[in-house]
Amino acid sequence: MEKKMTTMIAAVAVVAVVLVAGAFVILNNDDDGTKNAAIASQLQIRGNANDDYTIDGKDLDIVNDVIAGTKTLAEYPLADVNNDGDVNDADVSLLKDLIDRKDGTTVYVVCLDRNGDSTTVQVTYPLRNVVPYGTNMQLPTLYANGGQYVVGYFVSSYTTAEASISSTARDLEGSQRKISDAAWSNFTALDASISGGLGAILVDYSGISVISEKRMGDLNAAGIPMICYESADATAEITTVLTLGFLFGGECETMGVKYAQTAWNLIKEINDKLKDVKDEDKTSYICCTMYIYICGASSSFNTSATTAGGVAYASLNSDFNTTYTDNSTKMASVEALSKFTDVDVIINNRSMDWGLTEEQIKDLVIDTWDHNNSGKLSTEYFAKFLDKLVYIDNLLPGAVKLAYMAHAMYGDTFSREWADGVLQDYIDMGTLPLNGQTLDTVLAYIDLSTYNAVKA
């Protein structure tokens, strides 16, 4: 399935442009001469006319140039600040309010609709009173330090990682993969109980099926905007954190920018170090999830591993590609992968909470590696691949997951210490889900050597 793009790419003057995982990375020089990564159209806000990571006077200059006719809307589509198809004084007025970060300003957010197509929704700045659905959207909300603005959640499964959700937020009693009618009723009742109603529902596109046409009608009738991104993908997760940080405002905006720039600098580093690796020499991978589910080519786990420099095994083996077409498929037997032993690496994505003691780390390593899948251990399913198998914590920031994926596929180029350093960078930057954590309390990565060391 072709992945729909949420971004609109406009022409901008840049130092360098690198195509990565379907998005343009723009490398600009900071005032101090150092290179930092900005993100083309990754701040999904109309008014971000020059496609960088913020809204400022540079955007106003472009809007005025479009009005004057020296630039065109086709070149700078985000210059249409109020999404009415034209650029005029009304856009200038709204953009000035955005530049001033004026409370009560209407913001036009570019995101996905129920069909996965690009749309624009209106929210009020600063965004407050949000309800996220699904871990892949809930954690980006928290990584932007927006937990204080969460007033309800359908499920919270990770005590430490999700601890920054507001203590007053209401448990709407849903689940990771389903919103029952009762949970939806709790959601609509919550909206009715809040003065001014909910600011938005935040949805990861991988879980969009829970927002039925009828429920979308409920949202429209109540005036509740739905902000939806493919936030399970590591690069789209960067977009999500950056955009939500801007919408929450203040310290959250600062965090979103740091989070995104660190991530894109990492992706540039991966690209630079692998630029001379020929396609035929790239490491092939198969991604798995939920222990024994094989990810199809369109899975966000696969797109993330491609961003980390690998090549999807599905693109090399037609038999594998036609067998595993769904987002994830449970292995039918322990022999399911027996025909595909020439793959280089198997990356198993496993959500693991942190804040662990040394003994808890050891227990989690063993439980993960030897996991009992209805009577058959994971080691039976991966018996021919144990030296190729790694587990990566899916709760970690997208850039950190990319770092560990790059290490798994190119260990001589990207050391474990390097990947750990990326995790340390995110711990140090002050994003609240990782508050108080250390490299010793987070089980980020498991391979055969990790397992053997614990068992010894």
- What pLDDT is stored for residue 441 in this prediction? 98
Residue 15: predicted pLDDT: 26
What pLDDT, on the 0 to 100 scale, is given for residue 327?
87
| Residues 28/53, Cβ–Cβ less than 8 Å | no
Q: What is the mean pLDDT of residues 121-144?
A: 97
Strand 293-295 relative to strand 328-330: parallel, antiparallel, unpaired? Answer: antiparallel
pLDDT at position 298 is: 84
CB 84 within 8 A of CB 190: no
Residue 42 binned pLDDT confidence (cut-offs 50, 70, 90): confident
Contact 127/197 with Cβ under 8 angstroms? no
Phi, psi of 304 (to 5 degrees): -65, -45
Q: Is the pLDDT of residue 267 over 60?
A: yes
Task: Note every long-range contact of 334-341, with CB atoms under 8 Å and residues 24 or more positions apart, other chains counting.
Answer: 334/376, 334/380, 334/381, 334/383, 336/294, 336/381, 337/286, 337/294, 337/381, 337/382, 337/384, 337/385, 338/384, 340/286, 340/313, 341/384, 341/385
CA angle 39, 44, 48 (to 5 degrees): 75
Strands (E), 225-323: 226-229, 284-289, 293-295, 311-312
Give dist(CA 81, CA 88) in Å, integer: 9
pLDDT of res. 14: 28
Q: Which residue has the tokens 């590609």?
A: 321
Residue 39 has pLDDT above 70, yes or no: no
State both tokens at 353. 């909470």
Q: Closest by alpha carbon to 447, among 418, 411, 421?
A: 411
- What is the Cα–Cα distance from 365 to 444, expressed in whole angstroms? 10
Give residue for tokens 């693109």.
Answer: 315
Pairing, β 226-229 against β 200-204 = parallel
- Mean pLDDT of the 197-216 span: 96
What is the pLDDT averaged over residues 305-334?
95
The overall average pLDDT reported for the chain is 91
Looking at the chain, the whole-number percentage of residues with pLDDT higher than 70 is 91
pLDDT computed for residue 401 by the predictor: 98
The gap from C-alpha 67 to its chain's centroid, in whole angstroms, comes to 35
Residue (of 238, 25, 7, 14) closest to 110 by Cα position: 7
pLDDT digits over 365-388, tens only?
Answer: 999 999 999 999 999 999 999 999
The answer to whether 413 and 387 are in contact (CB under 8 A) is no
Residue pair 227/103 in contact (Cβ under 8 Å)? The answer is no
Q: Which residues share a beta bridge with 132?
A: 202
Distance CA 171, CA 152 (A): 6
What is the C-alpha to C-alpha distance for residues 325 and 298, in angstroms, rounded to an integer? 8
- Name which residue leads in pLDDT, 21 or 347: 347
Q: What is the pLDDT of residue 303?
A: 92
Please tell me the distance from the alpha carbon of residue 401 to that of residue 287, in angstroms, as a whole number.
13
Distance (Å, whole) CA 401 – CA 381: 24
Other C-beta atoms closer than 10 Å to the C-beta of 13 total: 7
pLDDT at site 176: 84
Q: Are strands 372-373 and 311-312 parallel, antiparallel or unpaired?
A: unpaired
322 sits in the region (left: phi over 0; alpha: psi -120 to 50; else beta) called: alpha
Query: What gap in Å lies between CA 93 and CA 12, rounded to an integer?
Result: 23
Q: Prior bond to 132 cis, omega within 30?
A: no
Average pLDDT over residues 410-437: 98
Say yes or no to pLDDT of 8 above 80.
Answer: no
Bridge partners, 120 (sequence order): 110
**What is the value of pTM for the model shown?**
0.91
Residue 7 predicted with pLDDT over 70: no
Neighbours of 86 (CB within 10 A): 12
User: Would you state the pLDDT for residue 178?
Assistant: 92
3-state secondary structure of 328: strand
